[in-house]
């Protein structure tokens, strides 16, 4: 894989990850762009012990443009996009409308004695999986999935070295039902200046399990699911895809390596090669459930950068809000108000349907 780094017209970083060593990426960004926005504002909620980002500049971000105006397609002729080259394999660049940024203007003032405020220092990057606007992750080759994984590993390492960054979160949103604002197949990477609430909850459970048993909680759960078998969707020598016994979403699958590792950079070559074929199989099963493109979120759970790395176990959580061909699951009162999920489909039945898809 060849890595080429350039600077866009407004100073943002862009990196090409090419599968050919002879790829030339010397095309300049010919656009005239305003300076990137300053970092958002983080406000602390004392009632939940959580940080909330207030990023007002994101209100004007690009929203579902037609294909001939897609900012993630390559630049060709007079049609200029975020990617200056006329083609690419995988490309990563800093989001033009970031929730988190290293561009800090000034320290914000306190709102109340109970609501500390600080800059949203971090970084948000876009990962384009292919230059084909009409493709999807499920249509990629295993080799391209390996390139994407290597690119995310590269960025996980680099972003983790930024000052103040505590957690790296790669993810993909697919489908307008999920809230996607650009159709071009892409994902994102968030570098947070704190450990996220979901991860803190999982680490607390893992710590209690370790203190009680001396084992890794996720590894023990994975072993139990592999032994039970009825919720396993697919597996190979290095990975297992299964529906969690207490799945929150109608169709939810964890794709986990058998070897406990804290993050994507810790995967070896064999594990990286084995991920693509299995994950592509699962994604195609998702699309085959109702014979239509499945809206989903694919969320990589990685250990924090600096703390509790021994408690983590890398895994990908893939889930959809579609519960039937013509029905979506909305987060209603119990889920949105109290955080208590009610699943309409038994996890065992979901696994059975995915195996048959």
Q: What is the pLDDT of residue 100?
A: 97
Looking at every residue in the chain, the average pLDDT score rounds to: 96
DSSP 227-249: HH-TTEEEE-SSEEEE--TT-SS
Q: What share of the chain is helix, strand, coil (3-state, %, to 5)?
A: 30, 25, 45
Domains of the chain: 2-194 (3.30.428.10), 198-356 (3.30.428.10)
Question: Sign of torsion, CA 131 158 192 268?
Answer: positive
Tell me the mean pLDDT in the region 27-34: 96
DSSP state of 344: S
- Output the six-digit token pair for 223: 């072993």
Q: What is the pLDDT of residue 63?
A: 86
What digits encode the pLDDT tens for the residues 266-308? 999 999 999 999 999 999 999 999 999 999 999 999 999 999 9
pLDDT tier, 162 (very low <50, low <70, confident <90, very high otherwise):
very high
DSSP state of 54: E
Rounded Cα distance, 84 and 236, in Å = 39
Q: What is the pLDDT of residue 137?
A: 98
User: How far separated are the first and last CA of the chain, in Å rounded?
Assistant: 34
Question: Sign of torsion, CA 93 95 99 104?
Answer: positive
DSSP 99-138: SSBS----PPPPSBTTB-EEE-BSEEEEEE--S-TT--GG
Residue 210 has pLDDT above 80, yes or no: yes
What digits encode the pLDDT tens for the residues 86-134? 999 999 999 999 999 999 987 777 889 999 999 999 999 999 999 999 9
Rounded Cα distance, 264 and 162, in Å = 18
What digits encode the pLDDT tens for the residues 312-341? 999 999 999 999 999 999 999 999 999 999
Task: Tell me if 133 is assigned to a ligand binding site.
Answer: yes
Rounded Cα distance, 85 and 336, in Å = 43
Task: Tell me if 70 is assigned to a ligand binding site.
Answer: yes
DSSP state of 57: G
CA distance readout (Å), 128 to 16, 19, 73, 141, 194: 10, 14, 9, 15, 26
CA distance readout (Å), 202 to 40, 215, 232: 27, 14, 22
pLDDT tier, 349 (very low <50, low <70, confident <90, very high otherwise):
very high
Residue 357 has pLDDT above 80, yes or no: yes
Helices and strands in the chain: count of H runs, count of E runs? 5, 16
Q: For 256, how many CA atoms within 13 A lie in the half-sphere containing its CB?
A: 26
Give the whole-number percent of the chain exceeding pLDDT 70.
100
Q: Kindly name the residue from 38, 183, 186, 306 that is annotated as catalytic.
A: 186
Task: Go through the chain and tell me how many residues it has.
Answer: 357
For residue 297, give the nearest of 277, 313, 280, 321 by alpha carbon. Answer: 321
Q: What is the number of other CB atoms lying within 10 angstroms of the CB of residue 288?
A: 15
Are the beta carbons of 131 and 139 closer than 8 angstroms?
no
Residue 83 has pLDDT above 90, yes or no: yes
pLDDT tier, 258 (very low <50, low <70, confident <90, very high otherwise):
very high
113 — phi, psi (to 5°)?
-60, -20
Annotated active-site residue 238? The verdict is no
CA distance readout (Å), 49 to 41, 42, 143, 201: 16, 13, 42, 12
Tell me the mean pLDDT in the region 203-232: 98
Give the whole-number percent of the chain exceeding pLDDT 90.
96
- Output the six-digit token pair for 197: 């609430």
Residue 194 has pLDDT above 90, yes or no: yes
pTM: 0.97
Task: Tell me if 128 is assigned to a ligand binding site.
Answer: no
Q: What is the pLDDT of residue 87?
A: 97
Task: Tell me if 73 is assigned to a ligand binding site.
Answer: yes
């Amino acid at each position: 894989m060849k890595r080429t780094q350039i600077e866009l017209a407004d100073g943002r970083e862009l990196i090409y990850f090419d599968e050919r060593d002879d790829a030339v990426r010397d095309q300049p960004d010919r656009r005239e762009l305003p300076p990137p926005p300053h970092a958002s504002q983080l406000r602390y909620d004392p009632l939940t012990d959580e940080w909330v980002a207030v990023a007002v500049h994101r209100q004007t971000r690009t929203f579902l443009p037609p294909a001939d105006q897609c900012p993630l397609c390559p630049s060709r002729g007079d049609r200029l996009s975020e990617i200056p080259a006329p083609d690419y394999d995988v490309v990563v660049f800093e989001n033009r409308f970031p929730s988190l940024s290293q561009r800090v203007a000034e320290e914000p003032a306190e709102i109340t004695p109970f609501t500390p405020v600080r800059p949203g220092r971090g970084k948000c990057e876009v990962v384009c999986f292919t230059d084909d606007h009409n493709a999807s992750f499920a249509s990629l080759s295993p080799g391209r999935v390996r390139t994407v994984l290597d690119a995310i590993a590269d960025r996980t390492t680099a972003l983790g070295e930024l000052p103040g960054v505590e957690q790296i979160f790669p993810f993909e949103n697919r489908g307008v039902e999920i809230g996607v604002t650009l159709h071009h197949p892409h994902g994102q990477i968030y570098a947070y200046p704190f450990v996220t609430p979901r991860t803190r909850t999982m680490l607390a459970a893992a710590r209690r399990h370790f203190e009680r048993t001396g084992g890794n909680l996720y590894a023990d759960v994975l072993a139990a699911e592999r032994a039970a078998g009825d919720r396993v969707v697919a597996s190979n020598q290095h990975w297992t895809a299964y529906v969690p016994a207490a799945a929150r979403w109608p169709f939810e699958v964890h794709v986990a390596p058998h070897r406990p590792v804290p993050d994507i950079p810790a995967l070896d070559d064999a594990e990286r090669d084995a991920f693509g074929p299995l994950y592509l199989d699962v994604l195609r099963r998702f699309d085959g459930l109702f014979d239509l493109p499945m809206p989903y979120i694919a969320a990589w759970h990685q250990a924090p950068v600096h703390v509790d790395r021994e408690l983590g176990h890398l895994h990908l959580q893939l889930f959809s809000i579609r519960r039937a061909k013509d029905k979506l699951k909305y987060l209603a009162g119990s889920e949105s108000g109290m955080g208590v999920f009610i699943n309409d489909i038994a996890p065992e039945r979901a696994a059975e349907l995915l195996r048959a898809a």
